[in-house]
């Protein structure tokens, strides 16, 4: 089975299930055919015996009537009628004797064959009593004996037919029970086989799905070991090759960024030193217009240095995200601390920060690295403050989420464009919507704050997303409850 492909596995499972159910159906059909054949044979035999017994009784009555009329009238035609009825009665008796010989009829207690012989003797005695002169002394006992034997024979046939019917019904009940057991066993075997096939096929599909999700989240440290059918195992090998390739590309990217950032810092430091010398007029006096140019150079040099430092910080974050010092962290005090740290920035922006805790979430806690989670909430709040218009409100809300705890951050700014939702957490990406009134002297963002948020949240086993809202931006973090 390990060498079977996905398609071959499904086909083999379907054929086996169809074979099991088909075998049960064929077994039931054969049992029904056998019962129908036996019923037809039994019915035909029973009908023949009943007809023979009825004919024997009717001919015996004809014999008795003809014999009694002959005793009174002594008409030879009546004796001839007796002989014809006797011949037909003997033919019916032969059929009964043939059934007794075949084993269909048997009366061990009364001796069915002996009664057949007695009937013949009584019939011969009655026939002999009608020769020449009628002998009533012999005729009356013989006719009475024939009537008595007819009753015995009819009872024997009726009893045997009833017994055969009971035997057929018992056989039908037994075969119905056996068929029910076979059908139930076939259904159980089909379910077991379907379950095993599902487990054999679905399990590697789930692993492939989890592996693809891990690749999408940038987790390249787990090897993809996919079992199951041969083609699914081949897909697993391809995905593991892709994991290694992406991990190598990510490492190269981080190394290039690190090297470029480091190489840029040295000439940038010289540039800033030169600008400082010009500002101090070490090389001689400068005019007001020259001072303005120097201030522009200084501002852009500082901005460039910040961007380089952000690059270095982001690379350090990617490495640090895999090293978590987890402990139980209460969320309400952590959110309050983050808000307090950025209270001055909110006041300068004339923005109100509100913290809302939904019922049942007062003691919500997660198992997390407190420092990294605090940085995540700080980045979200800083992003909201940067885009919130003066006089608006930024809200933090603690509630229940699909994984356990949900942390919502909502502002009343321009929000995130629908076409940019999927890219908003990418490194260095900056949305097209800008704040209506940016803070004076505040440089544009680096596009790394939300990327760091995603890296740390994914490292904690949670997820972060942008939710649709009529106004502003709505970010939600889902984290599992502390066990």
For the residues of 157-215, what is the DSSP string, one character each?
Answer: HHHHHHHHHHHHHHHHHHHHHHHHHHHHHHHHHHHHHHHHHHHHHHHHHHHHHHHHHHH
pLDDT for 476 equals 92
Higher pLDDT, 409 or 220: 409
Confidence of residue 86 (pLDDT cuts 50, 70, 90): confident
Q: Is the pLDDT of residue 32 over 80?
A: no
> If you average pLDDT over every residue of the chain, what do you get?
78
Q: Which of 13-22, 167-176, 307-316 comes out lowest in average pLDDT?
A: 307-316
Q: Which of 298-302, 342-346, 351-355 comes out lowest in average pLDDT?
A: 298-302
Helical ranges in 281-369 per DSSP H: 288-320, 331-341, 343-349
Can you tell me which residue has the tokens 């119905």? Answer: 176
Confidence of residue 394 (pLDDT cuts 50, 70, 90): very high
Average of per-residue pLDDT across 189-198:
77
Cα separation, 223 vs 414, whole angstroms: 42
Q: Which of 98-102, 232-236, 381-385, 434-438 comes out lowest in average pLDDT?
A: 434-438
Confidence of residue 443 (pLDDT cuts 50, 70, 90): very low
Cα separation, 283 vs 272, whole angstroms: 15
Is the whole model's pTM more than 0.75, yes or no? no
Give the highest mean pLDDT range of 164-168, 177-181, 376-380: 376-380
Q: Per the structure block, which two tokens stand in for 160? A: 């045997």
Q: Is the pLDDT of residue 333 over 50?
A: yes
Q: Is the pLDDT of residue 439 over 60?
A: no
Give residue-wise pLDDT tens across range 249-269.
Answer: 877 776 776 677 667 777 777
Q: β-pairing, 365-368 with 393-400? A: unpaired
Average of per-residue pLDDT across 377-406:
88
Give residue-wise pLDDT tens across range 116-128.
Answer: 777 777 777 777 7
Q: Is the pLDDT of residue 340 over 80?
A: yes
Confidence of residue 310 (pLDDT cuts 50, 70, 90): low
pLDDT for 11 equals 74
Confidence of residue 410 (pLDDT cuts 50, 70, 90): very high
Q: Per the structure block, which two tokens stand in for 60? A: 């015996």
pLDDT for 291 equals 80
Q: Is the pLDDT of residue 366 over 60?
A: yes
pLDDT for 441 equals 45
Q: β-pairing, 393-400 with 352-357? A: parallel
pLDDT for 408 equals 92
pLDDT for 409 equals 92
Average of per-residue pLDDT across 467-472:
87
Q: What does DSSP assign to residue 395?
A: E
Cα separation, 22 vs 16, whole angstroms: 9
User: How many other C-beta atoms are found inside a 10 Å radius of the C-beta of residue 303?
Assistant: 13
Q: Per the structure block, which two tokens stand in for 276? A: 């400082």
């Amino acid at each position: 089975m390990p060498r079977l492909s996905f398609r071959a596995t499904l086909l083999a499972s379907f054929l086996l299930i169809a074979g099991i159910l088909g075998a049960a159906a064929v077994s039931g059909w054969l049992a029904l055919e056998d019962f129908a054949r036996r019923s037809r044979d039994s019915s035909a035999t029973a009908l023949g015996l009943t007809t023979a017994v009825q004919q024997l009784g009717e001919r015996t009555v004809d014999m008795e009537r003809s014999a009694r009329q002959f005793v009174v009238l002594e008409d030879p035609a009546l004796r001839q009628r007796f002989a014809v009825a006797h011949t037909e009665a003997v033919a019916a008796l032969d059929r009964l004797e043939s059934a007794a010989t075949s084993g269909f009829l048997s009366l061990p207690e009364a001796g069915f064959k002996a009664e057949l012989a007695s009937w013949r003797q009584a019939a011969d005695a009655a026939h002999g009593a009608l020769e020449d002169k009628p002998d009533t002394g012999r005729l009356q006992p013989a006719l009475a004996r024939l009537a008595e034997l007819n009753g015995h024979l009819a009872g024997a046939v009726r009893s045997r037919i009833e017994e055969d019917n009971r035997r057929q019904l018992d056989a039908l009940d037994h075969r119905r029970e056996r068929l029910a057991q076979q059908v139930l066993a076939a259904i159980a075997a089909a379910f077991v086989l379907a379950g095993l096939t599902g487990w054999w096929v679905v399990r590697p599909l789930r692993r492939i799905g989890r592996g693809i999700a891990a690749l999408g989240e940038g987790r390249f440290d787990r090897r993809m070991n996919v079992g199951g059918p041969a083609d699914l195992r081949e897909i697993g090998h391809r995905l593991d090759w892709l994991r290694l390739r992406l991990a190598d590309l990510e490492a190269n990217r981080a190394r290039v960024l690190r090297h470029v950032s480091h190489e840029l810092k040295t000439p940038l430091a010289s540039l800033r030193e030169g600008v400082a010398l010009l500002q101090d007029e070490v090389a001689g006096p400068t005019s007001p217009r020259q001072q303005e140019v120097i201030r522009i150079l200084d501002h852009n040099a500082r901005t460039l240095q910040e961007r380089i430092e952000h690059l270095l910080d982001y690379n350090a974050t990617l490495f640090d995200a895999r090293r978590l010092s987890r402990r139980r962290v209460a969320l309400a005090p952590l959110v309050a601390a983050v808000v307090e740290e950025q209270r001055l920035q909110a006041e300068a922006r004339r923005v109100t920060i509100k913290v809302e805790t939904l019922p049942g979430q007062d003691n919500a806690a997660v198992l997390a690295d407190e420092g990294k989670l605090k940085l995540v909430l700080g980045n979200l709040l800083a992003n909201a403050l940067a885009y919130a218009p003066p006089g608006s409100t930024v809200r933090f809300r603690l509630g229940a989420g699909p994984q356990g705890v949900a942390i919502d951050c909502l502002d009343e700014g321009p929000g995130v464009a629908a076409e940019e939702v999927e890219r908003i957490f990418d490194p260095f990406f900056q949305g097209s919507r800008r704040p209506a009134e940016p803070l004076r002297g505040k440089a544009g963002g680096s596009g790394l704050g939300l990327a760091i948020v995603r890296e740390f949240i994914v490292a904690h086993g949670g997820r972060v997303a942008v939710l649709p809202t009529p106004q502003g931006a709505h970010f939600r973090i889902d984290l599992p409850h502390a066990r």
